[in-house]
Amino acid sequence: MIKFKLNGKIVETDAPATARLLDILRDELDLIGTKEGCGEGECGACSVFVNNLLQNSCLIPIGSIAGADVQTIEGILETDQFKILDECYSIAGGVQCGYCIPGMIMASAALLTKNPHPSEEDIRDGISGNLCRCTGYNMIVEAIHLAARKGDGIWQRK
Under the rule (CB under 6 A), what is the footprint of ligand FES? 36-39, 41-46, 56, 58, 95-100, 132-135
Between 84 and 104, whose beta carbon lies closer to ligand FES? 104
Between 41 and 116, whose beta carbon lies closer to ligand FES? 41
State the minimum distance, in angstroms, from the CB of residue 19 to ligand FES. 14
State the minimum distance, in angstroms, from the CB of residue 137 to ligand FES. 9
Between 56 and 152, whose beta carbon lies closer to ligand FES? 56
118/152 Cα distance (integer angstroms): 12
State the minimum distance, in angstroms, from the CB of residue 99 to ligand FES. 5
State the minimum distance, in angstroms, from the CB of residue 112 to ligand FES. 19
- Which amino acid is residue 23, in one-letter code? D
Between 36 and 74, whose beta carbon lies closer to ligand FES? 36
Between 42 and 154, whose beta carbon lies closer to ligand FES? 42
State the minimum distance, in angstroms, from the CB of residue 94 to ligand FES. 8
For the chain, the DSSP string reads: -EEEEETTEEEEE-S-TTSBHHHIIIIIS--TTS--SSSSSSS-TTEEEETTEEEEGGG-BGGGGTT-EEE-GGGGTTSHHHHHHHHHHHHHT--SS-TTHHHHHHHHHHHHHH-SS--HHHHHHHTTT---SSS-SHHHHHHHHHHHHHTTT--S--
